[in-house]
């Protein structure tokens, strides 16, 4: 198990036995990141904190409290090793400096890929899972422009905006922060992309390997996404969405928040429009982000381990989010109608662009567009532009 030495006042473990102790403490019931650091401050070490936990729990009225077992911690290490992940520990040279000032910084991060990316300047791109075609195009444009200016793109490996941002920045540097275990890509259809990120970028998780993500894990993941980044850019977000949770985390952490405006009638834009109303920087193109943040520090200015030589790979092209599913025309027209409506919003989109985004033959899509138009669910404007009416 790779463990690096310390330069931070909170010294990380330097042997596997000490890593076991750290994992036992952070995996113990009712011990979160903030409590982890407070316990070590109070007792001087993770081992002493573990020993004191049953007494502390009893004083708090919790009966029959038992810390995480050594067997459980060692099983976690074995599963991480099997997945090819390494432990990045709070206070170690490999740990992202951007997270060190957070009171709830993850004590242990499992990493799969190129950890040197953690020492480059980062921008987070987040947004709707059911993104429109225009939203996906905007995410790709922003990711490509910011990556070209020297920023690593951070996102959450979700459908929609996250996926588009990761793909656009895969060649230049992208970090996927996972809600579940490092060996559990979610959603399943992003497994191929997750494998590419592990090879050419970096995947991170604070959860034990093998853990399927649950609802409570996503806000925890979001605080890492925002904490890593100098700024969070939101591209399409409903008024109540995980992307707005990330934006709120960014504000709490002292990070900048920027947002792409959208049509007032499009529910997917309501969260972004609210952020702009409340003071977020309005983003029209990558230059707006660069103007707000300034140019990325050069790699020679950033404290960073020497990076391995990049591996050659074919350029990623614009592809549907689930190529296997979209390569065949759905047998049920209602399924295709739902996909078309998901891609459209109140803002007009060119018909040929919609067909390319769907990844289906024009002959299969065009008749269904006519059906939706006759049904009053989409409108056609001059120049082959389509928009959703309801």
The token pair at 270 is 């309501």
Separation CA 283–CA 286 (nearest Å): 7
Note the Cα 364 to chain centre separation in Å. 34
| pLDDT-derived band at 12, boundaries 50, 70, 90 | low
Q: Is 48 helix (H, G, I), strand (E, B) or coil?
A: helix
Separation CA 261–CA 127 (nearest Å): 12
> What is the rounded radius of gyration, in angstroms, for the C-alpha atoms of the chain?
23
| pLDDT-derived band at 303, boundaries 50, 70, 90 | very low
Separation CA 131–CA 128 (nearest Å): 5
For residue 307, is pLDDT > 60?
A: no
| pLDDT-derived band at 142, boundaries 50, 70, 90 | very high
pLDDT digits (tens, 9 = 90+) for 353-384: 888 888 888 888 888 887 887 778 888 877 77
Element (H, E) at 290: helix 286-293
**Of 247, 218, 223, 219, which is closest to residue 233 (Cα–Cα)?**
247
- Residues 46-75 have a mean pLDDT of 91
Pairing of strands 108-113, 122-127: unpaired
| pLDDT-derived band at 324, boundaries 50, 70, 90 | very low
**Of 26, 29, 20, which is closest to residue 54 (Cα–Cα)?**
29
The token pair at 56 is 């502390």
* pLDDT > 70: percent of the chain: 88
Contact (CB, 8 A) for 136 and 129: no
Contact (CB, 8 A) for 256 and 231: yes
């Amino acid at each position: 198990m790779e463990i690096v030495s310390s330069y931070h006042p909170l010294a990380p473990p330097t042997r596997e036995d000490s890593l076991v102790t750290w994992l036992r403490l952070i995996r113990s019931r009712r011990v979160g990141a903030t409590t982890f650091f407070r316990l070590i401050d109070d007792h001087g070490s993770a081992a002493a904190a573990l020993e004191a936990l049953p007494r502390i729990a009893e004083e708090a009225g919790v009966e029959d409290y038992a810390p995480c077992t050594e067997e459980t911690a060692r099983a976690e290490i074995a599963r991480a090793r099997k997945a090819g992940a390494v432990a990045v520990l709070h206070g170690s040279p490999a740990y992202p400096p951007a997270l060190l000032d957070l009171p709830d910084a993850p004590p242990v991060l499992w990493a799969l890929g190129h950890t040197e990316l953690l020492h480059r300047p980062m921008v987070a791109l987040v947004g709707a899972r059911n993104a429109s075609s225009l939203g996906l195009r905007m995410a790709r444009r922003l990711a490509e422009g910011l990556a070209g200016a020297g920023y690593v793109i951070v996102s959450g490996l979700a459908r929609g905006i996250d996926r588009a941002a990761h793909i656009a920045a895969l060649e230049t540097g992208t970090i996927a922060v996972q809600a579940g275990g490092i060996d559990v890509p979610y959603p399943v259809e992003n497994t191929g992309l997750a494998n590419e990120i592990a090879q050419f970028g970096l995947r991170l998780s604070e959860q034990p390997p093998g853990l399927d993500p649950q609802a409570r894990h996503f806000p925890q993941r979001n605080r890492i996404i925002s904490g890593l980044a100098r700024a969070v850019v939101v591209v399409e977000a409903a008024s109540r969405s995980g992307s707005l949770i990330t934006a709120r985390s960014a504000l709490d952490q002292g990070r900048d928040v920027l947002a792409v405006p959208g049509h007032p009638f499009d529910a997917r834009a309501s969260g972004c429009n609210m952020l702009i109303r409340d003071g977020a920087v309005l983003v029209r193109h990558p230059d707006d982000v660069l103007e707000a943040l300034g140019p990325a520090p050069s790699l020679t200015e950033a404290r960073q381990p020497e990076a391995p030589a990049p591996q050659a790979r074919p350029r990623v092209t614009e592809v549907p989010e689930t190529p296997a599913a979209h390569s065949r025309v759905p047998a049920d027209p209602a399924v295709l109608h739902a996909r078309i409506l998901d891609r459209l919003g109140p803002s007009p989109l060119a018909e040929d662009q919609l067909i390319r985004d769907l990844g289906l033959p024009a002959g299969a899509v065009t008749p269904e567009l006519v059906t939706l138009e006759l049904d009053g669910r989409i409108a056609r404007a001059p120049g082959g532009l389509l928009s959703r009416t309801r």
